[in-house]
Amino acid sequence: MSDRLWSSSGAGLAIPAVRVQMLRAIQNFTVQISNAENRARHANQGDADLTAAWRRQLWHLNWSRQLVREQATAIGIAQHTIDHVQACGTDGLRWRGNQVIPDAAAADRVGLLARLGTQVDQLEDMVAVRAAHNHRFGAADPDQQSFFDARMTVLRNRIGAVAHALEITSSEREQLWSTDGTGLRQTLQARMHGYDNDTLTARWLEYASLPQLLADELRLAALTSSGISLAHAHAAGHMPPSPHQLIAVAASPGNTARTDATTLTDPDSSRSAGVAIGQAIDATGIDTDTDTTGDTAAHVDAVALGDRLPTGLPLAPHQPASQVDTERGIEP
């Protein structure tokens, strides 16, 4: 990374390249949002259909930025640092070398690991729900099964990416996920038998959601596009057990809710839903590191994106708007 960053106190900063890339993305992405908002306000007055399309586009852009912010927080970037680069982007300032970043206190590592632990807990819960649902109700709807299995894989990869960015230690890894087969089997079996049929069905439908899968794909993309290598995470021992391994543990002797580990859908063998959203974004010509101000082609394609992205996308955790955002009518 060639950027030299400075703290507000004038001292040079040594920030990992992954964090620099994520801050760069948030700031430059915000410039794109401001440019799109201004074009929508001044260039398309009187055309109700086009205005509605732009409003959908702006919603999706803001929603995507929230997901990037969420992952930036997950890897330990201070909230006020994230707010600072977003405010710079809202003012039209693109990321540059020698950028000044506000001083930040050390991240709350205990809190970061606790939040990562909730993701591990969700992965184990998904495995238990899958095993119990297939045992009680038989083969599920193929699309739901595909979405469910893809979400488990994406979630596992996102856990590994964040763990790698945090450079977790071996003792922290032991606290996050168990390597004791007996203890893990007991945990999974307790979950499998703990749901009544109605609750199990509700959990299944929640986890088998295509909109939620798309959100998880974008969260993972925010991490990997910033330079986090899943291969390096695996080599460093930062990846939790795979869904295949967890399902095999759940199906091991002593568990009456049998499931065949080999039936787990391989998301690489079918068209990933994340590919569809990636292609739609690529088709707009919008790049978080390229200025498209005044680019008519990008302007037209961005309008079309409003119709390409799926409806019903889930909202990421709300991020408060800056004062400038509020004044300009941008709703994150």
pLDDT tens per residue, range 122-175: 999 999 999 999 999 998 999 999 999 999 999 999 999 999 999 999 999 999
Number of alpha helices (DSSP H) and beta strands (DSSP E) in the chain: 14, 3
> What are the tens digits of pLDDT across the range 66-114?
989 999 999 999 999 999 999 999 999 999 877 888 777 778 999 999 9
User: Looking at residue 18, what is its pLDDT?
Assistant: 87
Instruction: Lay out the sheet containing 100-101: strands in order across.
Output: 12-13, 5-7, 100-101
Does the pTM surpass 0.85? The reply is no
Residue 251 has pLDDT above 60, yes or no: yes
164-196 tens-digit pLDDT:
999 999 999 999 997 777 778 888 888 888 999
What gap in Å lies between CA 272 and CA 102, rounded to an integer?
39
Measure Cα distances from 17 to 5, 35, 165 in Å.
11, 27, 10
